[in-house]
Structure 1
Amino acid sequence: MKKTVYAALACLGLLTSAAQAQSVRQCATVDNLQAQLTADPAMAARRAAIEAQTQTYLANKANEAQRTNAVITIPVVVHVLYNTSAQNISDAQIQSQLDVLNQDYSKTNSDYTKAPAAFAGLVANVGIQFVLAKQTPTGAATTGIERKQTTKTSWGTDDQMKKASTGGLDAWNSSKYLNLWVCNLSGGVLGYAQFPGGPAATDGVVILTTAFGKGGSAVAPFNLGRTGTHEVGHWLNLNHIWGDDGTSCSGTDNVSDTPNQADENYGTPSYPQASCSNTSDMFMNYMDYVDDVAMYMFSTGQSSRMNALFASGGARVGLLTSVGGTAPGGGTTPTTPTYCASKGSSVGYEWVDLVQLGSINRSSAANAGYYDGTALGTTVAAGSAQTIYYSAGFASTAYTEYWKIYIDYNQDGDFTDAGELVASRSSNASTTLSSAFTVPSTAKNGKTRLRVVMSDNSATTSCGSYSYGETEDYSVTISGGLRTSESAKAALADYKLFPNPTSDVLNLVLPADHLAANVQVEVFDARGASMKQVRYDGSGLLEVQQLPAGVYTLRLTDGSTVVHQRFVKQ
């Protein structure tokens, strides 16, 4: 527990030399906040209101009970400002940062297991995922990346990079997108973020080019994407874990399960690291100042604090209804998306020798690093439990291999959306492995891509070349999920749901040729968790008074039609 973020202190004094600039972590988020509070006295009231909503959310234990895994998906736009070609970072480096965010915010990062026993039970799956935007605020198709060459050799922390009028790039609608600016920051600052409640035109996160993602321009010890994780944490209303209170041990970071600590930690500390009469600081927390390799967890309390932003009345609830992560047209026009290439450079030592899922059952020798098996396919039902089997072939020695298996559930041409990584594990055996997964009830009907990646490198993702191993692609057809044709809209129009919003009951009016008794109804919260307490009596009356206030999705199944419709519980 640490002092509130309102403390009028800078994150750190700024260092000057290039060597010093990369020696310790420096964040200017608190500096930025203080400047905004000075410029806009009304902002303090907005911040107080956000804190009050957060505390109300935390006080309702039912909110925590309804949490589930990785279901909030936030569209991201990356604004790249560069003076030199080295600063014009690649698409692959940008995707690596998204991959790190998705791992760190879903507890799928491989290093979370390093948490000491005292903190192991507090390591949290925040349940938030990030995807590059697929459409602009005006509805045009986009890669989610925009670039601008500038004559400026460096930028300060006064938000000039966020405005075209001062040489930068304007923010996209910050209620529907997370804006990330990547540029050459001055003074040794690695990044800074804007807390909820600040001006919409500058809302987002700024990260130093050499501290963004992995590979490319990223420089150790800040080359694992954790600056992004730290700064997005601020954007999601987390304070520094030590509370910016100097060494007084007297404040709070408004999180109950983070031990009170005297000050920030640097480098790669060894456990325990005691201060303020605690057993040890939680120095491996993403909101401390240690090197990238030494931070690998959010706490349960921090997770709840971030999730409060997406509850009814939350400061970032608008992101739940953003279509920024969906390709223009919403999939109503059948297209075959183009998928990124993925290939192992060498199969001289190991390769994929078995993939089995439903009617897909293929054993093989090496296939030059990639096999296109999309002519082979199987059908799986939305909401069904599945098990996929796979194994590695070795020329002689059985090396440790890292498996990642993806299904493009929303058929948008990538594997980066929430839940699309269906299996991730490592093994040094040639025996058949298996992974169980559940097809989301919101998966789109129709044919999509299954990708199996086996690599000797744990950092390998769904795209790009890697050293040793192999990628294989297959087809999967989803049944019983979201319909992707115009007939889905027609089916939705046939159903009526009122009153919406409601405080106690919903009336469901069916098409004339449908019987209420034949309809199955299920309600999901904004995170995708099924609300088992909702009762449907078969007559068209749905009792929802037991639900907390918020936005929910109603799934209707009548044997031939699956319809999803949102409603608001007041």
Structure 2
Amino acid sequence: MQFKALIASAFLATASASWSFNTTRLCGTPEPTQQQMRESLAMLEIERIALAKGHVKRQTSINVKTYFHVVASSNSLSGGYLTQAMLNDQLSVMNNAYGPHGISFSLVGSDWTVNANWAADGNEQAMKKALRKGTYSDLNIYFLGNLGGGLLGYCYFPTSSHSTGSTNFILDGCTILGQSVPGGNAAPYNLGGTATHEIGHWMNLYHTFQGGCAAPGDSVDDTPPEASAASGCPTGRDTCSGGGPDPIHNYMDYTDDACYTEFTSGQQARMYSAWSAYRS
């Protein structure tokens, strides 16, 4: 993935083999295309009409069938191997974050692969072609031993061009640094927040700092505009005048896992809009 490779190379010189509290969250999700942004703005207009009419309740809940793929360089934790207990803890974090919005994740299966090249994200398409399971409405998460360059993960926004076997279909899903799961060593990003953040992209949410202070920002009305990504947990940070404090506790910002606490009602509406448009 070209965008991911550019990020990784840019930070390779400063990345450390061990994680520390000074590490900045890095998400390698590609920027949304102009077409994807137009479609999100169209969803926003429909959501605004529904809100004005008082139609703000969820029409249904969403249950996402989920497949976990552990890809390690060896059978040891140091090689990126994760236990089923660690995966179960990650699943609990996901359900705790999305559950208040009527979205749940059901683990259908877990598998383990020892492949040093794949574990270093050396051949994304070949790995996913071999391991991917389910339909376009099913979530595949690949937990890799080392993404390189300090990268924590990346995912893909949904698209209407996803015929079975196509590149968009094969690549769909989320690639996550394995040590970011609960109990991993990627502190302060080892409480499971990376998977929660990346799944937000899979559900069609942009970063809260998308577009900076300029409209339409992240194309969601109730997330305050944010000039740039936040790090740590900077209480009171306000980088765009008139819009309110930055949404540092939002799962789609870049703050520490411990700072993450919320999605907004507008983001919830967007996830349901996107699910209906692309995945249901």
- Higher relative contact order structure (alpha carbons within 8 Å, sequence separation ≥ 6): 2
Residue 57 of structure 2 is matched in structure 1 by: 66
SS at match of 2:67: strand
- CA distance, structure 2, for counterparts of residue 24 and residue 63 of structure 1: 40
SS at match of 2:137: coil
**What code does the residue aligned with 1:190 have?**
L
Structure 2 unaligned regions, length at least 5: 1-5, 162-167
SS at match of 1:301: helix
Higher helix share: 2
SS at match of 2:30: helix
- CA distance, structure 2, for counterparts of residue 89 and residue 173 of structure 1: 22
CA separation of 1:284/1:45 partners in 2, compared to 1, >3 Å: closer, same or farther? closer
Q: Measure how far apart 1:309 and its partner are.
A: 1.9
Residue 165 of structure 2 is matched in structure 1 by: none
Residue 3 of structure 2 is matched in structure 1 by: none
CA contact 1:210–1:223 (8 Å) conserved in 2 = yes
Q: How does 1:104-503 map to 2 (within 5 A)?
A: 104-106=97-99, 125-133=100-108, 144-152=109-117, 154-156=119-121, 160-164=123-127, 169-183=130-144, 184-197=146-159, 199-212=168-181, 214-215=182-183, 217-245=184-212, 249-251=213-215, 252-270=217-235, 272-278=236-242, 279-311=244-276, 314-317=277-280
Residue 28 of structure 1 is matched in structure 2 by: 28
Q: Measure how far apart 1:46 and its partner are.
A: 6.2
CA contact 1:284–1:295 (8 Å) conserved in 2 = yes
Higher strand share: 1
CA separation of 1:80/1:162 partners in 2, compared to 1, >3 Å: closer, same or farther? farther
**What code does the residue aligned with 1:170 have?**
L
CA contact 2:19–2:187 (8 Å) conserved in 1 = no
Q: Deviations over 1:246-305 (max 9, x none)?
A: xxx2241001011112111101222x1121114411111111111000111111111111
SS at match of 1:259: coil
* 1:75 matched to 2:65: yes
TM-score, normalization by structure 1: 0.42
Q: Deviations over 1:351-376 (max 9, x none)?
A: xxxxxxxxxxxxxxxxxxxxxxxxxx
- CA distance, structure 1, for counterparts of residue 16 and residue 118 of structure 2: 15
CA separation of 1:182/1:52 partners in 2, compared to 1, >3 Å: closer, same or farther? same
Q: Deviations over 1:296-330 (max 9, x none)?
A: 1111111111111233xx1111xxxxxxxxxxxxx
Moved more, 16-25 or 291-300: 16-25
Structure 1 unaligned regions, length at least 5: 1-8, 38-43, 107-124, 134-143, 318-570
CA contact 2:8–2:151 (8 Å) conserved in 1 = no
How well do the aligned residues superpose, as a CA RMSD in angstroms? Answer: 2.8
- CA distance, structure 1, for counterparts of residue 201 and residue 231 of structure 2: 19
Q: Measure how far apart 1:171 and its partner are.
A: 1.7
Identity %: 31
